[in-house]
Amino acid sequence: MKVRMFVNGQAMSGGSLNDALSEAQLVGRFRTAPRYRFFNVRGEFPALYPVASGGAQVSGEIYEVEDAVLRDSLLPREPRELELTLIELEDGSGSLCMRLREEWLGHEDLTDISEHGDWRLVGAR
């Protein structure tokens, strides 16, 4: 079975985790609905978090992924600060995505980068 997976950090094209999606098909670039805050975690990876107000859109890529590839290749390599969730995209559709675990909100290692909306603009810093 194939699922849609929105990636917005190292799993995007050219990123250090993109090889985990080598068996997946890139659908294209997408943006989330403006319902998320976007964080830089320790300068290592980004994290989305849903908010009721004050959200921003985040850019990323959608892949069609076999559930076995997701389970065996991508998810085991995701940071412990993230968990799998369902997000809303700009067009109103949904997709799987990794998000910040609630217990990490307010952690000193988080920097809000919502105004950038794209990891590629801040990820190399």
| Domains defined for the chain, CATH in brackets | 2-122 (3.10.490.10)
Residue 19, phi-psi category: left (phi > 0), alpha (psi -120 to 50), beta (remainder): alpha
pTM beyond 0.75: yes
Write out the two tokens for 86. Answer: 């369902």
pLDDT in tens, the chain (125 residues): 899 999 999 999 999 999 999 999 999 999 999 999 999 999 999 999 999 999 999 999 999 999 999 999 999 999 999 999 999 999 999 999 999 999 999 899 999 999 999 999 886 54
